[in-house]
Amino acid sequence: MEFNHFLSSYYPDTSYGADRHYADMLEQAVAAERLGYASVSIPEHHLMNILMNPAPLQMAIKVAGATRRVKIITSVVQLPLHDMRTYAGEVVMAELFTDGRLILGVGRGAFAVEMDRMGAPIEQSREKFDESLNVLQALLEQENVSWSGKYYNFDKLTVMPRPVRPVQFMMAALSPPAIYHSTLRGFHIQTTPLMDTNEKMLEQIGAFYKAKDELGDAGKHLSISLSRVCWLAKDEADKRAKLELANDYYARFDNVFTGPGEIESGAIARLPRTQTLEELETNLLICTRDEFIDQLAVYEEAGVDELILSQNIGTPNQETLDNMQSIAEEVIPHFSKLGKIEAAE
């Protein structure tokens, strides 16, 4: 099992400054490579201060310029927000400028308030996503593509420049049926149980392997990544402090994911939560070393290929970097082929 560091771009203090914030994200990407993480991932969200990255392909190119090995995964680009005729060319350029390290994680969008404000209502997002993905794949794989559909209608065109190698795709999917059918289509999978249990996680992983087994040799290269909010706590007091920060994060996340979507001047309102810290603890990977390793052993045994660690929960950047290093030194070597810290050049 390998490890991914999520450049999750959480921006609770909107006075901090975007220049400092994205410099922090870049510093984390460089540290992830040095510490033996296999990849980094980059979100796409607009008009809000959570998962704040309106231009993930640009960020991917920036990360590629500062690193040499680490894979760069979008987590995930929201296809219904883009015109595939222009986006296909942007993907080709990003794939070129990342030297083939880009994996295009795609999804339909998750926050109704964001989708509505961007003119792509979430009620239509599944249907529009499906057509957008089909258009994007056609434009990347073929020349002289024409289309007649509900959301796209155009005469023959060819995206330029042409890809120099196939673009790698990864599908974001939560429900076991969606995971199963996406795997059958030949996509790598990215998933998370969110606030659900290990039993839900096992169902998700099981759906992937069911489809992968059915594909036989054609599916041998496919992988599944699991995303978890995490922190390697020094002791019980540190664990509680980090759970409180995570609770503050979810007070904002819940607002836009399942709540009313209250946003003022780009800042998501913090709404009261009914879940206790003890209940939250059971849903997250915020714990001391032995607990951390024990839980990761469950993921490894289930067949998770890569664990996406979301460590930006509101701590100062240096504290996050220190936590990345602690995980690299105390946890990753138990599971990863890359788990030894690379010597600085």
**Domain-by-domain residue ranges, the chain?**
2-334
User: Among residues 12, 11, 75, which one has the least CA distance to residue 39?
Assistant: 75
Query: Residue 285: phi, psi to the nearest 5?
Result: -110, 60
Structure confidence at residue 196 as a pLDDT band (50, 70, 90): confident
Peptide bond into 76 cis (omega under 30): yes
Residues 82-109: what's their mean pLDDT?
A: 98
Predicted local confidence at residue 278, as pLDDT: 94
Residues in the chain: 345
For the chain, the average pLDDT equals 96
Q: How far apart are CA 95 and CA 302, in angstroms?
A: 31
First to last CA, the chain: 26
Predicted local confidence at residue 345, as pLDDT: 44
Is 203 strand, coil or helix? helix
Predicted local confidence at residue 106, as pLDDT: 98
Structure confidence at residue 343 as a pLDDT band (50, 70, 90): very low
Predicted local confidence at residue 195, as pLDDT: 84
- Residue 292 above 60 pLDDT? yes
CATH, domain range 2-334 = 3.20.20.30
